[in-house]
Amino acid sequence: MTEVEKYQRILSEDYPSFIDKYLKLEIMQKLKTRGQFCGADYTKLFPVRYLYTRYDHSIVSALMTWHFTHSKKETVAALLHDLEMPAFCHCIDYVKGDYEKQESAELDLKEILLSSKELLFCLKEDGITVADIVPITQYSVVDIERPGICVDRLDGVMHTNLIWLQTWELSDVKRVYDDMKLLPNEKGKIEIGFSSLEAAEYFYEGAYTYSIVLQQNEDKLMMQLIADVLKSLVQSGVIGVEDFYNLSEEKIIEMIKQSSYGPLWTTFNHLTKIERSEELPKDYLYMIKSFKTKKRYVIPLCEYHGNIVRLNEISKRCQELLTSYQNYQDSKYAYIKKS
């Protein structure tokens, strides 16, 4: 059993076998060629344990949804929610200058569903319509506004700590997950929350780690470098924007290596640290000026003395970490030194 399979086993006691026919579709198989970490797999800046793809994330989202709802419609919606994502995922948002919303790279999910006769046949077989899938926001367990927790966001926190940063083990995932349940939030929507303060605080420590790393210059430089290389290849006619949605990351990397950016990509592959500066550096191989990017954070709901509250209302530790996150600011510049 692979590590990903061990992770998946924790998330649902019974397996929703009806998703198997969707997993065999070419439209789903393509997600195996898209890494979940927007390029972190291709540099030594981060200690990524193993490749975790959009395909893996889609299965995990479905398993979590089935665990919490046992709704076939919601589970299939969770499985299909990332079909519109391109290679290198949110790096393509950077290509388009969309740093804070990070939504411009996503294609129209409804159009994608309607374009696949095989997928439509599977939906019909399950008594599900396209309107039952789109918009995904009709299912708050699958997609909910921040600071709430939905399965997409929950897996984000878990797999970042487990696989990308290696700050959690599978036992930590199980400790957190076993305490979770569905709770009504302040807007009357159903949301994933916690039965105990202890588990909620432990989870929030991991959520803080997740949210901070996505604000740090290592992540910004990684994504901007990939975006700059891809944008230059588009401008020079080597690749088209549509290729990000049709080609695998492996194929695109081959094209990068064969271009004038091959040496920079090799340096990026072996990069273990970046340099920071408050002043504009004078000598560098590649440099970014730090910028605002999407705030990815959660504040979980928790049952507490018979009430349902946000964790920051009852936890001093949560308040401290939330303040630290809100005030976080990295160096003005980040760069790769010339060798």
Q: What is the CATH number of the domain that holds 58?
A: 1.10.3210.10
Say if 8 falls within a structural domain: yes
Contact, 285 vs 338, CB < 8 A? yes
Say if 332 falls within a structural domain: no
pLDDT of residue 97: 76
Alpha helices, H only, 44-84: 54-69, 72-80
pLDDT of residue 296: 85
| Residue 137 DSSP symbol | G
Say if 127 falls within a structural domain: yes
Both structure tokens of 6: 């061990």
CA distances from 48 to 40, 41, 51, 202 (A): 7, 6, 8, 22
pLDDT of residue 217: 97
In which domain, by residue range, is 125 found?
3-215+295-327
**Using CA atoms, how far apart are residues 44 and 182, in angstroms rounded to an integer?**
38
Which residues lie closer than 8 Å to 12 by C-beta, 6 or more apart?
63, 64, 66, 67
Contact, 75 vs 16, CB < 8 A? yes
Contact, 45 vs 272, CB < 8 A? yes
pLDDT of residue 92: 86
Say if 136 falls within a structural domain: yes
pLDDT of residue 30: 95
pLDDT of residue 103: 61
pLDDT of residue 339: 76
**Using CA atoms, how far apart are residues 130 and 191, in angstroms rounded to an integer?**
23
Contact, 177 vs 11, CB < 8 A? yes
CA distances from 163 to 12, 43, 97, 170 (A): 19, 14, 28, 10
| Residue 286 DSSP symbol | E
Q: Find, among 118, 50, 48, the residue nearest to 83 by Cα.
A: 118
Say if 240 falls within a structural domain: no
pLDDT of residue 100: 59
**Using CA atoms, how far apart are residues 76 and 83, in angstroms rounded to an integer?**
12
* DSSP assignment string, 191-240: EEEES-HHHHHHHHHHHHHHHHHTTSHHHHHHHHHHHHHHHHHHHTTSS-
**Using CA atoms, how far apart are residues 23 and 83, in angstroms rounded to an integer?**
12
pLDDT of residue 135: 93
Which residues lie closer than 8 Å to 42 by C-beta, 6 or more apart?
253, 268, 269
pLDDT of residue 214: 94
pLDDT of residue 96: 79
Burial class (CB in 10 A: 0-12, 13-18, 19+), 27: middle
Q: Find, among 87, 85, 65, 95, the residue nearest to 250 by Cα.
A: 87
Domain count, the chain: 1
Say if 37 falls within a structural domain: yes
Q: Flag whether the pTM goes above 0.75.
A: yes
Per-residue pLDDT of the chain (339 residues; tens, 9 = 90+): 899 999 999 999 899 999 999 999 999 999 999 999 999 999 999 999 999 999 999 999 999 999 999 999 999 999 999 998 899 988 888 887 766 566 655 668 899 999 999 999 999 999 999 999 999 999 999 999 999 999 999 999 999 999 999 999 999 999 999 999 999 999 999 999 999 999 999 999 999 999 999 999 999 999 999 999 999 999 999 999 899 999 999 999 999 999 999 999 999 999 999 999 999 999 999 999 999 988 888 999 999 999 999 999 999 999 999 999 999 999 999 999 997
**Using CA atoms, how far apart are residues 330 and 334, in angstroms rounded to an integer?**
9
Say if 242 falls within a structural domain: no
Say if 65 falls within a structural domain: yes
pLDDT of residue 121: 97
